Structure 1
Amino acid sequence: MEPQPNNGEPVAKRQRTGDGSAAISNGAKAADQAKQQHSKKGAQQEGQQGATGAGRKRNQRDPRMSLMQQAVKKNNLQYAMSLFREVVGEGLTVPTHIVNSLMYMACGGEQWERYVRGLPLLSAEEAAAEAAAAGGAGGSVEGAGEGEEAGGAEAAAEQHQKGQQKGQQKGQQKGQQGRASQVPPPEGPAPSKEQLLAAMDELWAYMGGAGLGADQGTYLALARREALRGDPQAALQWARECFSRGKPMQLRIFHPAQVGYCLAADVAALEAIDGLIAGHRLDCTEYEYARLLEGIAAAGSYAQLKAVLARVQSDLNQLTPATAAHVAAFFQRPDAARQAFAPPERGGCPVVAAALGTSASGAGAAGPDAKVEADGGEAGGGWRWRVQSGVAVEEGGLCEAAGGSLRVIDLEDAEWESFATAIAELARKNMGPRAADFDAYVAWYDRNGPYDVLVDGANVAFFGQNHEGGGFNWEQIQDMYDMLCRRFKGKKILVMLHRRRLNDPEARSPAVTSFLERLKQAKSFYYTPAGANDDWFWLYACVRSKQGGLLVSNDELRDHIFSLLRPKHFLKWKERHISHYTFAPGAGPASAPSPAGAGGGGASGDADSTGRGGAAAGTPPPSRGARFELQLPRPYTACVQQLPESGAWMLPLADGTWMCIRPDREG
């Protein structure tokens, strides 16, 4: 059903271009029919579900179903729609997931936003390169945050197709591959916006007539359709409709409306969408922040910009150059300086006012008696913002171009608690029936923690051992532990290993037995239970230590389990609380020890009932601990910051460089 906005106002009239009026008119008629047909969807769906099993099998086995999906992959809209009309004309039902795939292509596919913005389309090679460069957060023309949906309905269709193929004979799979080769590449120019809209309206009308229910992919396509028509209000209404139908909300459903409101420079509407996103308990990615910044750059205030940058500081570690360009564009507006340099009581920036009133003289800095004019003048009382790219930041965080130093930005107290709780919940879910083992670990940690330094024992033991005869090496763990005891005197250190390592023959050698006894005496050892992923255990311990926790590991933490955590917590923690390591000059991996004989006194046998024990810390032998060197986190955090010394804004870019936007005297 074509919904009406929640406030009772009618959906805005569609915008049309003169050269596409006929195609749109035909599509609009089909859409009107779909509106009526979808209102009776429930009864029609029941009739559809009552079709015979033979009819359903006939649909599934028809090779043109697969060909339509292959046409989507090749972006051949004309060929796909020709097959669609042919199949429908024969009375066959095209299932929802295939219609969604066609809708995905009919909205412009990966280049939907270029269509909406009126930008030149990319070649297939350029589009693929752009999507690859954007990675998990890209894929839009802005290169920030749209990549997750570059597959969109197509990805869902591919998954469905794979599910159907599962268990089939290889001969059938080869047959499908052969059919895929029958799909020709698209010929001639890319479809126009009017042709896309006509195809979308035809597909949506079909869904209504066939009684097919809309899912998330359908609502996303409908929102994009409205964006193509230049109607962001209607695009947003489809997002609301998706939620009202009980579908799980995803960020990408808001993107078409966001782009439309960016083009309209409607900051209030963009902020309203931002509120909806927060209301659905979704975390903004760079894409959503980029749209807010784009709108603010065109028509927003300094207060709005600063509020968004404060959130970006908390949630992101870097920005794409395109997102940073929106920030720079704001400061290049003539009225931006007037807003920021006004007295704080008149809406100006307190940081800028304080910095310009006290900073030492120098390039772009005011003298100790400098003052900012109350009215701001044409460009802020003779002040402006100077944008510099590629500025140098010293190892300690000092940036001469910015006139100040970057500082440490860490999680807030409430965020630490939320982060630790999320890790524990995911760990219990991951462990299933053995979740009680994690609860036992939490209880043990409550009695013995917090710990300052956590050692990923397996990572250290295997470091540099990828050679013939190499393998898990206890000596390297001991060397690391001894070095840490010297480096962090008085700090509590915890070595963590999987339980199965205690059953290794080497674990029963006198040297390892003695080392494990030292660890247990110092309460510096915990083994994770069978069937558990030890990553959850050391991550939880480190996060419980809050600002003082440090994980020693060369693990890049790219495992899929970490993607389950909120990026705003995990990325900030990862930036501040992991120390990598390398071999010290002249040192190298330890050699494999000889297998231990019997009577070594097994470590697991010496442990108490919890597998841990001891009371007093041991002292490392004076000759050990020189094998490794730590690579501690930087003394500052890579994130958006405003420097109190000068009022300058520092933006870290994805290419490793920094952008500086600093107050500067004109002339």
Structure 2
Amino acid sequence: MCSKRGDVVGAIKLYELAKKEFIKLGQYHYAVLLYLCSSAATEVKRAALRKGFEIYNEMRLENIPMNEATFTSVARMATAFGDGDMAFDMVKQMKEYGINPRLRSYGPALSIFCSNGDIDNAFKVESHMLEHGVYPEEPELEALLKVSIDAGKSEKVYNVLHKLRTSVRQVSSSTAELIERWFTSKTASRVGKRKWDQNLIIEAMKNGGGGWHGKGWLGKGKWTVSRSPVDSDGLCKCCGKKLVTIDLDPVETENFAKSVASIAAEREKDSSFQKFQKWLDYYGPFEAVVDAANVGLYSQRSFKPSKVNAVVNGIRQMLHCRKWPLIVLHNRRINGGKMEEPFNKALIEKWRTADAIYATPTGSNDDWYWLYAAIKCGCLLVTNDEMRDHLFQLFGNDFFPKWKERHQVRFSFTETGPTFRMPPPCSVVIQETEEGQWHIPIVSESENEDERIWLCCSRSNSSSPSSSSHHQNQESEIPRTQKKKREARISVETVFGESGKRNHRKNNTLLAQLETAEQLGDCAIDFQI
């Protein structure tokens, strides 16, 4: 009851009473006590924390078995004292007890080290996580990004951005603000390569599936950061750069299909799913799969096959395909009630004649069937199902979101019939271009991709790759020293007028010395006023 009410004072009184009366407490009681102490309200925090450490030492003396919750609670108590070493030590001790740490176990230590600006220990925590198969999510990566930015560690920032790309894909508004702070910093403007092997970059992007190269910061100079949507052709409305569609790995796709089939076969009765696999091998492949229940129940309680028919016809016209899409529908929706009406019966018969409908058996979950068919056929999936429930969580957060993004077609109905929202024209994921630009998608509440805002980050002074002259225009063919002199003259004359000209002539020797220094050092000397 104390646990339900969050009553740490009452719980401690019961603990002391139990000790006084020599009542032996078990692991569960200690776990609850430590949890209450670690999450105590501010007014009793200090006393509760002292008591919490006393209870933890009592557990050790009495050889009470520890569990993950116990260690995590003690680590949280260490957070209140800013003791990162103790919080991290709690995680390390778990392995000695044969306990596998969870993501929440690392939170206290990581939080303390990042808050204290202790970048070395913060990344030691992350390394420990990865060694034990625990992967950071956006809150942890955001903390690592912040401590890296504060420390001015450009390589760390670069690596964390790529970790966000692979595991988070779309960033929250708070992470976006942090990224924006990095790109507008003086440190960001100073780091990067002046020249690079363009062939090496292109090869790296090809091997990675496109959309990134991972070879470090390209270019030098001040960054321009803007917030902009991407148009229906995948072009950034700020810089005009075409964002890419990142290829799905065929091996990963095949493994994904096998994973779905394996889980479905275990959960479906009487080999019903294996029968569907054989049916699909015989009648497939299809260019689209329709989640008929989701379509037929759109905006209403009763199932309407006419809506399914309209969507089927609409997607056929859009894809210009002769073959019908596969309609997956539970058999209980095919028989009885209004389905016996002549019009509805005629529709079902038409689909059967075209070998375009599969009725899933009683007791089955039709989600397995339409999902597997779309993966196996490598085709589009027409459904408004967001695929977020426990069934789809079995597939993890790695490959499944990428697959869904490239294959799901959403629909709606207007007075003139169904309308379709096809997969986005580019992959909605952090992208790095071969010229060193970055585009970062920000999480949007809207389902319409046209309304999503992206961070567009590019150098105001773009540099040239060493092996790709086709990226340079006629302007860049002017010798660098002459070009800089001309830009300097334009700048001085425009801003300061005739007096600026006279001063510029006086300082011409200094400009020549600076240009010589730039040539010797193969760098650019930038002045920020």
What TM-score, normalized by structure 1, do the two folds share? Answer: 0.59
Relative to structure 1, is the Cα distance of residues 645 and 209 closer, same or farther in structure 2, using a 3 angstrom cutoff? closer
Residues 429, 435 of structure 1: 8 Å contact kept: no
3-state secondary structure, aligned to 1:291: helix
Counterpart Cα distance in 2 of 1:272 and 1:448: 54
Give the match for residue 45 of structure 1: none
Q: Which moved more, 1:214-223 or 1:291-300?
A: 291-300
Counterpart Cα distance in 2 of 1:445 and 1:276: 45
Give the match for residue 561 of structure 1: 391
The one of 309, 313, 320 aligned to 1:489: 320
Q: Residue 631 in 1 paired to residue 421 in 2?
A: yes
The one of 58, 64, 69 aligned to 1:212: 64
Counterpart Cα distance in 2 of 1:631 and 1:236: 47
Matches within 5 A, 1:121-520: 190-192=43-45, 194-299=46-151, 301-344=153-196, 383-388=221-226, 390-409=227-246, 411-431=248-268, 434=269, 436-466=271-301, 471-490=302-321, 493-520=325-352
Give the match for residue 659 of structure 1: 455
Residues 391, 660 of structure 1: 8 Å contact kept: yes
Q: After TM superposition, give the deviation of residue 198 of structure 1 in Å.
A: 1.0
Q: After TM superposition, give the deviation of residue 533 of structure 1 in Å.
A: 0.9
Q: Which amino acid aligns with 1:442?
A: Q
Counterpart Cα distance in 2 of 1:535 and 1:92: 53
Q: Which amino acid aligns with 1:331?
A: F
Q: After TM superposition, give the deviation of residue 528 of structure 1 in Å.
A: 1.5
Counterpart Cα distance in 1 of 2:119 and 2:261: 39
Q: Which amino acid aligns with 2:408?
A: I
Counterpart Cα distance in 1 of 2:259 and 2:134: 15
- Superposed CA deviations along residues 470-508 of structure 1, whole A, max 9, x for unmatched, are x22222222222222222222661100112223325445
Counterpart Cα distance in 2 of 1:551 and 1:647: 33
Residues 454, 550 of structure 1: 8 Å contact kept: yes
Counterpart Cα distance in 1 of 2:58 and 2:126: 33
3-state secondary structure, aligned to 2:334: helix
Counterpart Cα distance in 2 of 1:278 and 1:488: 44
Q: After TM superposition, give the deviation of residue 196 of structure 1 in Å.
A: 4.6
Relative to structure 1, is the Cα distance of residues 300 and 415 closer, same or farther in structure 2, using a 3 angstrom cutoff? farther
3-state secondary structure, aligned to 1:405: coil
Q: Which amino acid aligns with 2:262?
A: E
Matches within 5 A, 1:513-662: 513-546=345-378, 549-586=379-416, 627-644=417-434, 647-654=437-444, 656-662=452-458
- Superposed CA deviations along residues 289-343 of structure 1, whole A, max 9, x for unmatched, are 2233223223364444333323322332421222223323433443322222443
Relative to structure 1, is the Cα distance of residues 552 and 422 closer, same or farther in structure 2, using a 3 angstrom cutoff? same
Q: After TM superposition, give the deviation of residue 210 of structure 1 in Å.
A: 4.5
Relative to structure 1, is the Cα distance of residues 578 and 208 closer, same or farther in structure 2, using a 3 angstrom cutoff? same
Identity of aligned residues (%): 26
Matches within 5 A, 1:76-91: 76-91=7-22
Counterpart Cα distance in 2 of 1:342 and 1:298: 24
3-state secondary structure, aligned to 1:340: coil
Q: Residue 70 in 1 paired to residue 1 in 2?
A: no
Give the match for residue 470 of structure 2: none
- Superposed CA deviations along residues 201-253 of structure 1, whole A, max 9, x for unmatched, are 12212323454321111021123234444443443332233234333442111
Q: After TM superposition, give the deviation of residue 566 of structure 1 in Å.
A: 0.5
Residues 53, 74 of structure 2: 8 Å contact kept: no
Counterpart Cα distance in 1 of 2:115 and 2:148: 11
- Superposed CA deviations along residues 330-376 of structure 1, whole A, max 9, x for unmatched, are 3344332222244347x9x969xx9xxxxxxxxxxxxxxxxxxxxx9
Residues 289, 374 of structure 2: 8 Å contact kept: yes
Residues 290, 326 of structure 2: 8 Å contact kept: yes
The one of 17, 26, 31 aligned to 1:100: 31
> Unpaired segments of 5 or more residues in structure 1?
1-65, 110-185, 355-375, 587-626
3-state secondary structure, aligned to 2:43: coil
Q: Which amino acid aligns with 2:297?
A: F
Relative to structure 1, is the Cα distance of residues 292 and 419 closer, same or farther in structure 2, using a 3 angstrom cutoff? farther
What TM-score, normalized by structure 2, do the two folds share? Answer: 0.73
3-state secondary structure, aligned to 1:255: helix
Counterpart Cα distance in 2 of 1:321 and 1:428: 41
3-state secondary structure, aligned to 2:460: strand
Counterpart Cα distance in 1 of 2:247 and 2:67: 40
Counterpart Cα distance in 2 of 1:496 and 1:640: 34
Q: What root-mean-square deviation, in Å, do the aligned CA atoms of Structure 1 and Structure 2 show?
A: 3.3
3-state secondary structure, aligned to 1:551: strand
Q: After TM superposition, give the deviation of residue 459 of structure 1 in Å.
A: 1.3
Q: Which amino acid aligns with 2:418?
A: F
Give the match for residue 503 of structure 2: none
Q: After TM superposition, give the deviation of residue 539 of structure 1 in Å.
A: 1.4
3-state secondary structure, aligned to 2:363: coil
> Unpaired segments of 5 or more residues in structure 2?
206-216, 446-451, 462-527
Q: After TM superposition, give the deviation of residue 637 of structure 1 in Å.
A: 2.8
3-state secondary structure, aligned to 2:364: coil
- Size of the aligned set, in residue pairs, is 442
Counterpart Cα distance in 2 of 1:270 and 1:539: 40
- Superposed CA deviations along residues 115-168 of structure 1, whole A, max 9, x for unmatched, are xxxxxxxxxxxxxxxxxxxxxxxxxxxxxxxxxxxxxxxxxxxxxxxxxxxxxx
3-state secondary structure, aligned to 1:465: coil
Residues 267, 299 of structure 1: 8 Å contact kept: yes
Counterpart Cα distance in 1 of 2:131 and 2:279: 37
Relative to structure 1, is the Cα distance of residues 414 and 479 closer, same or farther in structure 2, using a 3 angstrom cutoff? same
Counterpart Cα distance in 2 of 1:413 and 1:267: 38
3-state secondary structure, aligned to 2:271: helix
